Amino acid sequence: MRQLVVIVMLLFTYWNGKIDSSTYIGVIEHQDSLKVNAFIVLKNHCNSCHKIKRKASVFTLKNMTRYSNAINQQVFIKRRMPKGRTNRLAKTQEETLKIWLSSLKNP
Ligand code: HEC
């Protein structure tokens, strides 16, 4: 009986348009594009050096979420990265990283 009530409630919200698959797809696509934008920054401004000096952390689409806390620490809290005076990020590139990082905290 309980299960039936839950099923009816779920169907009702589904029909009511509060939940539909396109909502989820929209959210997922949006997060993917934030991620891809962030990856472009990591690829162009971090990997060129990490490839040579820090092989352990060459960023990829696959591992970047795992590194997100470390990236936040190094780029925004400690401000150690990107290493080297000539490697500063432009404001828009910082924003791109920030928006991606906050999308992970508030999915
Ligand atoms: C010119 C070289 C250089 C650039 C550019 C650079 N890094 Fe690094 N990064 C390093 C080196 C070397 C280390 C390890 C030693 C240290 O911590 O100083 C490191 C360490 C890190 C770490 C700590 C995890 C680890 O592997 O030890 C993170 C996170 C990180 N970098 C993120 C970034 C991000 C994000 C960028 C781009 C916005 C970036 N780095 C750009 C050289 C670089």
State pLDDT tens for residues 50-71. 999 999 999 999 999 999 999 9
Q: Which two tokens mark 81?
A: 């990265």
Quick one: which atom of ligand 1 is closest to the CA of 67? 29
Is residue 2, in this structure, part of any structural domain at all?
Answer: no
Q: What distance in angstroms lies between residue 24's CA and the mean position of ligand 1's atoms?
A: 34
On whether residue 22 sits in a domain, the answer given is no
Q: What is the per-residue pLDDT for 94?
A: 98
In angstroms and rounded to an integer, the radius of gyration of the C-alpha atoms of the chain is 20
Å from CA of 91 to ligand 1 middle: 19
- Asked, for residue 69, whether it belongs to a domain, the answer is yes
8 lies in a domain?
A: no
User: pTM score, two decimals?
Assistant: 0.82
| Structural domain that includes position 40 | 28-105
Count the Cβ atoms, other than its own, within 10 Å of residue 42: 24
Residue 16 lies in a domain: no
Domain count, the chain: 1
- Asked whether residue 51 is domain-assigned, the answer is yes
Report whether 31 contacts 107 (CB < 8 A).
Answer: yes
Identify whether 73 is part of a domain.
yes
Nearest protein CA to atom 31 of ligand 1, as residue: 81
**Residue spans of the chain under pLDDT 70:** 1-2, 5-6, 9-24, 107
* Ligand 1 probe mutation, 50, 66, 93, most atoms within 8 A of CB: 50
Listed in sequence order, the DSSP H helices in the chain are: 2-15, 21-42, 48-53, 68-72, 91-105
Whether 97 is in a domain gets the answer: yes
